[in-house]
Amino acid sequence: MTTPFTDREVAENRGATPGCTDDLVHLNHAGSSLPPQVVLDAQIGHLRREATIGGYEAAAEAVDRSAAVYDSIATMIGASAKEIARTEHATAAWNAAFWSIPMAPGQRIITHDHDYGANWVAFLRAAEVHGVEIDRVPSDVHGQIDLERLATALEHPDEVALVSLAWIPTSGGLVNPAAQVGALANAAEVPFLLDACQAAGQVEIDVDELGCDFLSATGRKFLRGPRGTGFLYARESILDRVTPSHPDHHGADWVSMDRFEYADGARRFEYWEHDHAGWLGLGAAVDHALELDIARVHATIDERAEQLRRGLDDAGMTVQDTGVERCGIVTSTHRSLSPAEVADRLTKASINVSTTMLGSARADLEPRGLTSMVRMSVHCTTTSDEIDRTLDVLRSL
């Protein structure tokens, strides 16, 4: 079993992170985390070069460092560099994959109640444009996707366009059994699109173990990278089954006046223009996470999240997390105050939290009779004292 960071190591993690001060408790890593100094240095350093010598010239100077970001991400998730596409955020990555998958009228999109709001909107749009149906596999008694019902839904694979799953949903501590979902999708030879937005940087990722054909992630959450960054993993073997929907002259080569050819590998999902400084910052964030050891980051997050869940009860809050395996996202409600009011009180005490709203998790919240929840999320920079401070404020409400 992997050991969490010691208090001394957590202090070191904090020391490497300018936002970790005694004045602020940041429990919003699932929203946007606090980047370590190395991320700022990579990003700001590049911005300075752009401003000093010109954007294209700075890009030329950083060409090897930029290429190395693909290698770092590939190392982190057990892929090859050419299976990685740079994107602006997780939704851009997810959409690039989703809209490349062929869908015929009457086919089904298999999903689960915890899929992200933006993904549900895309399903509804795909129902409009392709005439597909949304097949909502229910949760089991623990709140995670029901694997038996999924197996049944996959009995006629020709009827299924794809399986989509949020590995770690926005709306709770649940960790869905993604590898088991991948095994079922792979056996049925149905494309498997995994939303790893809240997983990247929080848990170890091995795309072969997960069996995903696509994996989408963002930079700013548990990876602690810059805002406006993300990536898509596209398995090499899926590429001849899908067609990127909006290629440009970087994702495709314009080979003659009437013809283009898709670029090799996952690059076909990219656009030429991008935030170079952000991408380098993301690379620094991935390298930092790998140096820390994501298994230990995960163990530390688990320990802190459990401490928080234990304390919430006693502080008059109801923990709303479901699932067999849980993570660093902790959702709760107060007996009388609304989540927005609780968040407001915490903000006034310099404690950053967020609220999960219906718009991002309707299929999960509605059946549970919830309209919103307080969402607190911890990281390997969170101390026990910070949890205690937060619980003190909650107890006083």
Ligand X SMILES: Cc1ncc(COP(=O)(O)O)c(C=O)c1O
CB of 232 to ligand X, least distance (A): 11
**Is 197 an interacting residue with respect to ligand X (CB under 6 A)?**
yes
Nearest C-alpha neighbor of 224 from the set 93, 40, 25:
40
* Smallest separation, CB 239 to ligand X (Å): 23
Query: Can you tell me the distance from the alpha carbon of 68 to that of 44, in angstroms, rounded to the nearest whole number?
Result: 18
Report residue 126 as tokens: 């795909």
How many residues would you count in the chain? 397
Q: 100 or 218, CB closer to ligand X?
A: 218
Q: With respect to ligand X, which residue has the nearer C-beta, 91 or 372?
A: 91
In the complex with ligand X, which residue's Cβ is closer, 49 or 326?
A: 326
Site for ligand X in 100-119 (CB under 6 A): 116, 118
Q: Is 230 a binder of ligand X (CB under 6 A)?
A: yes
Q: What is d(CA 147, CA 231) in angstroms, rounded to the nearest whole number?
A: 28
Residues 6+ apart with CB under 8 A from 163: 110, 111, 150, 154, 181, 184, 185, 190, 191, 192, 193
Residue among 42, 58, 74, 90 that touches ligand X (CB under 6 A): 90
Q: Does 198 bind ligand X (CB under 6 A)?
A: yes
User: Nearest distance from residue 155's CB to ligand X, in Å?
Assistant: 28
Task: Find the shortest distance in angstroms from Cβ 392 to ligand X.
Answer: 28
CB 248 within 8 A of CB 242: no
- C-alpha–C-alpha distance, residues 313 and 291, integer Å: 35
Ramachandran region, residue 229 (left: φ > 0; alpha: ψ -120 to 50; beta: rest): beta
Which of the residues 9 through 48 are near ligand X (CB under 6 A)?
Answer: none
Judged by CB under 6 A, which stretch of 62-70, 136-144, 164-172, 364-372 contacts ligand X?
Answer: 164-172
**Binding footprint of ligand X, residue count (CB under 6 A):** 13
Residues 6+ apart with CB under 8 A from 21: none
> Considering beta carbons, is residue 58 or 266 the nearer one to ligand X?
266
What is the SS3 assignment for 317?
A: strand
Give the CA distances from residue 338 to residues 47, 96, 344, in Å, rounded to whole numbers and listed in that order: 42, 37, 10
> Whole-number minimum distance, CB 259 to ligand X, in Å?
33
Pick the closer one to ligand X by CB: 20 or 200: 200
Stretch that binds ligand X, among 8-16, 194-202, 249-257, 275-283 (CB under 6 A): 194-202
- In the list 89, 108, 267, 309, the residue contacting ligand X (rule: CB under 6 A) is 89
Based on the shown chain and the rule CB under 6 A, indicate whether residue 135 belongs to the binding site for ligand X: no
The CA distance from 84 to 66, in Å, is 13
- Quick check: 353 and 374 in contact, CB under 8 A? yes
- Binding-site member from 28, 218, 320, 372 for ligand X (CB under 6 A): 218
Cβ–Cβ under 8 Å, residues 378 and 11: no
Q: Does 331 bind ligand X (CB under 6 A)?
A: no
Q: Is 378 in the site for ligand X (CB under 6 A)?
A: no
Span of 57-65, 129-137, 146-154, 195-203 interacting with ligand X by CB under 6 A = 195-203
Minimum Å distance from CB 328 to ligand X? 12
On whether the CB atoms of residues 271 and 25 are closer than 8 A, the answer is no
- Binding positions for ligand X, rule: CB under 6 A: 89-91, 116, 118, 166, 169-170, 195, 197-198, 218, 230
